[in-house]
Structure 1
């Protein structure tokens, strides 16, 4: 199996009035096509900065990111390359409001992406919007709704649909479920698992929560202070961590009664009514 991502010696230094701050130092890993790898660490570990460099939202100070064997050019990307490169890797953020315009309906938000990336007519785009919503467990009644009338889980589903609209091969999910209630988290994680199987997606999943990571990831990279602390299969790291830091992360899991490997009994179906108050 070929690698969707090859990350080599990534380094990021931020410069400011107080001097230089090394946020990421020497991060390397491979992510096979169709695989799911978790970047795990506490706040300030460098995991989100690493994810942003991989997604093309941040320029590395040094190192390289290869997507399907092709080295990504330095930012800013030339206009002729921007659409192609952006379609390879898409990012889903912790706060879906960061990618949703409150003035746009769900349909308008998705249509905006489709108009930019595909030279197709309005009828094709309307059909595609319905397909995208169905993929993420939303219904046609959500088309004309504004984000403020959606629950947190519904907004995150729309953000996932928006990322999928350009048909990426890699999704970078930055704390994509951490702001949701535990029950809603489980449904969104089930959704992501199903989408990975159905669409052949590759996931880079960023999280501070090893219990959540266990459900979604095959491999794990534990980060601390911008460095790699340890790597390996997710089950090996959870059952026999080599690092004291990883053991501390495991000890901090706040939900010992929750079995993270268990799926919710049913597949994520239609989302809850628009009047729900899920967060």
Structure 2
């Protein structure tokens, strides 16, 4: 019988709050209940927002909650060559193209469109750089012009069998529509790879069999399944849990300065009380 392998994969861009605690406890309990493995991964690809003190704090907070993990912590910034190899593989198949547009230019082009399509993350990239010729791309890259790498979603979808789907706990097979994301960025101008590529790569590499994460990330599974099929990576099962909300009904978030586990600890809250507040009493 295949043992369950789960993971908790926060970005060290702030200290953990109760929403993170809920996600970590969910994955940890599922793995431990079946004698499986629980992994900790730090998704620190964004050099502008990730900080060492937050990475240290994540491990401290998890230990305080009573959680342990199997094997060393995987730190994504230590494995950039692996993500580059995956990008090179996609590029060799003609599925990536360089995008030189700035955010302002993209916003301008979207505003000029009479019917800009929208995806789960907002207005879709209008494809401004998709039609550039190879000589033009090469010339601009040679001059050092900053660029991102986008997935040509139409070409990518054409490369996989019809009927793409994933298994969601409690729902069964769920149909995927990755094209609704448009030509997503897989490598940013200021970061060597994007969340979508790194998380999918690492789940495959680490043998994750069950992805447990917040319901806000469920739409992204469509895109992740596309990458899994394109790269011949194994398919995990998925279990997206409801998000914890604050007293006003908003989901807990770092940007809203939700009370951190460090704050709770400093105020005298015990680990058992914190687990109960996170929905795992």
TM-score under structure 1 length normalisation: 0.30
Q: Whose strand proportion is higher, 1 or 2? A: 1
Q: Which has the larger radius of gyration?
A: 2
